[in-house]
Each structure stands twice: as C-alpha cells, then as structure tokens.
Homo-oligomer: A and B are copies of this chain.
C-alpha cells in the first residue's frame, strides 16, 4: 500500500441511513452529521488521509454504548470508537463509513482504591485528568505516550511511551475492563486482583485490539506510589551507538530507570530551535530516576559509571521541577519540532522495536538508509524498551520523496522483523501496517482473523483495521 492509498471498502448505504435514523430518535442533538464535526472525528494528527464517518454519537454511559452497538449490529453498520483522536495509524478512520462513537463525555473517575493501588475510570478520562485527580493521594498513573490521550484509547492501542521501561505498558497496567461486545453483551474481562488463572485472558486480548473486538466502557488500572525523589538530566554521547550501549548496560544491570530516551543530533537541533533550549547537537539520552533518596543516588552513580565506559559525558542535571518539566515538555513536543523544522512537511510516524541487543545496529543501519535515500529523518526513541521512532519529514506533493519514504519504511519494518523485532512497539497496526502484521505474524495472523470472525462475525467493529478475515 502506498503511503496515501487507502483500502476502499464497500459501504452499506441503506443500513447506515436506517441506523442513523434509529439512533437519532434516542440521541437527538447528541447525534451529529455536520461536516466539520465528522472531520474532527477522522484523522487530524497523521499523514494518513481522512475517511469520514457518516455520523457521530456522543455516548454517556455503558448502556448508551450498548444501545448504539445493538443498532449498528441490527443493520450491519460499522462503529468506530473515538477518544482523543491521537491515533497515528488510521485508528479512527471510517473506510466503510458508519457511526463514530465519541466517548469523551464518559470521563468520570469512578473510584480510587488507594489501598489496592488501583482505580476505576471511564474510557474518556485522559491521563492528565487522572493524574490531576490523584494529586493529593501520593499515587500516580505513570504511562505517558506524549499526547494527552484518553485511557480507553490508550488501552485499545496497547500504548506506552517514555516510562514504560520502568512501569510497563498498558498491557501491564490494566487490571480489568468492562467492554461492550459486537453482539451488545457487556463483558467484565477479569476480577480486580493482581493476578488470576481463571480462563482465557480477555483483558489482554482486548488491550491492543484497537476497537475491532469491542468498545471499552470502563477500566480498572494500576496506580503507583509517587516516588520520594525524582531526578532528571541528560547525558551526551559521541555516537548513537555509545548511547545505545549505555542503555543496554543499564538494563542488563537491572537499573530501574524511569525514563531513558534517545535523541539523535538532528533531533536535538530541532528541539533546541523549537523549545528554546541550548543543548550541544550530539546524540543524547534524556534520563529520569525514581526512588528513595538513597536509591536514586545509587542509580545515578551506577549510570554515570556506565556512561563513562562507553564514551558518555557527565550527566547534566535539571535541578528544579520547572527545569525537569521543561525537559520533558521539549521531549513531548519533538513531533511539533520536526514539523516546524521543515515547513509544510508531514512526519511519517514509524515505530520499530527490537530486542535491545540489536538496537544500536538497527538504529545505525536505519540512519544510513535514510541518508542513502536522501531523507530528513530524526531519531527519537524509548531505547530502554528497544523501541525507536525515526520520522521521515516528507513533502507529500513530491512524488519522488514520497516513493523514497515508502521504500525506507518498507525496509525499516522488514529490518526490525528480521532482527526478531516488530513493526510496532506502541502505535498499533491500524490501517497503515496491516501488511506488515501478516509478514511479522504469519499463521498467527490467521488465528487473529479467526478470533475476529468469531467475536465480530459481521465485521462491524472498526472494520479495515488490524486484521481482516476472508469471507
């Protein structure tokens, strides 16, 4: 599939029209069909072109979601769950039209179980809203994909981000969910316990299913104690390889790094310009350590020793909370820094993830490939997890450059897969990576398709995403 070519799927015109009529009776003004609103509910944050739904319904309860699903099931109409719309792989597009179900009004924090280090939330709660709410409890929710995404969307995408290296991804941090299945049944996926051996792991099956198996209407998620001390700083290296090797050694020693983020020299230059910083333009690790005061000292000492052995400089500390926030704000704004660097370009998101022992090699080969294809492509990465994003900045009206970017991405994904890695560490398959899912998983993709078919025989749940199935 070319970067800008999207699969066309046949539309069930009559069904869509009827379903909208039926839903209108119940939802009234909470069902919208205006062009501007439909556009807001298709893609805005990626290079992938928009494919609009036919209507948007604003649901306010599990029971309302159930109603929408039942109507869509009756008329075999696609239903696309919508959180904050920050998917990078076409997750909220509607290739066969249908109903976008906006879950942002389901934004209640239902219960904080401080003793159990968990809380129960509706899917429209964003991670920032949750952490604001938790401010005085001594607890926090660590997963931070950059965007202020909704927790439902993050679970559906199996999202992670900068501090997954210590706290895990959504896979490790969702205990249980309430999900409306394609037949309208409401399923509670698991007990509210730290572990369970009771049957198939429906929680984990639904996490990362990208809305193709059901719609999440409630989540029980793990919380963590706010560490006594947080220290952040940067450490610069002569080479990307040196930075990767420092990461490998830290992970091998079992250092509980809270964040360890790589930026290549080009990316540092971009964020310097965009965020008014003044770092030397060389491969850099952004670091954060969490622990007790003594624990952090110990970690820092060990990391400094490691860095020295692989040609790293001394750690430059951000001593105040403000300075630390500025550091991570700059990291999170890297995407905007890229777009600002080359006016009018699109950033083509990539998401390779490899075993950490192959990371230095994978990044180096990929950078070389970008150079040989004459692409501007800064690197930023969650290197403690072996996950990195190299983002070709492409003028989409330059056919030749688009073709080179396609070739680059093809080779990147194949390289990651050949290194026992994956084409996506945290963004998901969406529309953009379906072909690579099949290459990566082989017969496993058939099993996925058979599960999809068993649970959603009419293919109404976010069709055209993740995995298709033969009729």
A residues with CB within 8 A of B: 113-118, 157-160, 164, 169, 171-172, 181, 185-202, 204-205, 207-209, 213, 224-225, 227, 248, 251-254, 292, 294-295, 298, 351, 353-357, 385-387, 417, 420-429, 433, 436-437, 440-448, 450-455, 466-467
Contact = CB atoms under 8 A, between A and B. Distances in A.
Contact of A356 (B115, B225, B292, B353): B115
Given A252-B225, A454-B450, A440 B194 contact: no
Given A188-B444, A205-B451, A453-B454, 16 more contacts: A113-B357, A115-B355, A115-B356, A169-B195, A171-B201, A187-B443, A187-B444, A192-B420, A193-B385, A197-B426, A198-B440, A200-B208, A200-B451, A225-B253, A294-B298, A454-B454
B193 A422 contact: yes
Contacts of A467: 199-200
28 contacts: A117-B252, A181-B443, A185-B446, A191-B420, A191-B422, A191-B440, A192-B420, A193-B353, A193-B385, A193-B420, A194-B356, A195-B353, A196-B353, A197-B208, A197-B425, A197-B426, A198-B424, A198-B429, A198-B441, A199-B437, A199-B467, A204-B204, A204-B205, A205-B205, A205-B451, A294-B298, A450-B454, A453-B454
Contacts of A441: 187-188, 198-199, 202
Most B CB within 10 A of own CB, among A197, A209, A252: A197
A418 B467 CA distance: 37
Contacts of A209: 200
Closest 5 CB pairs of A and B: A454-B454, A204-B204, A115-B357, A225-B254, A191-B422
B116 A196 contact: no
Nearest to A467: B199
B422 A196 contact: yes
Nearest to A193: B353
A385 B227 CA distance: 21
Most B CB within 10 A of own CB, among A189, A355, A455: A355
Nearest to A203: B204
Contacts of A205: 200-201, 204-205, 451
Contacts of A199: 208, 429, 437, 441, 444-445, 448, 466-467
A243 B248 CA distance: 40
Contacts of A420: 191-193
Contacts of A207: 201
Each complex incorporates copies of this chain amounting to 2
A173 B297 CA distance: 29
A354 B195 CA distance: 9
Nearest to A352: B193
A189 B117 contact: no
Contacts of A114: 252
Contacts of A442: 187-188
A198 B423 contact: yes
Contacts of A157: 197
Contacts of A452: 200
Contacts of A248: 115
B193 A201 contact: no
A117 B165 CA distance: 14
B355 A160 contact: no
A189 B442 CA distance: 10
Nearest to A293: B298
Most B CB within 10 A of own CB, among A116, A295, A453: A116
A186 B446 CA distance: 11
Contacts of A202: 441, 444, 447-448
A7 B455 CA distance: 28
A429 B292 CA distance: 40
A446 B181 CA distance: 11
A455 B450 contact: yes
A452 B451 CA distance: 9
A193 B224 contact: no
A447 B451 CA distance: 10
Given A171-B195, A197-B424, A187 B440 contact: no
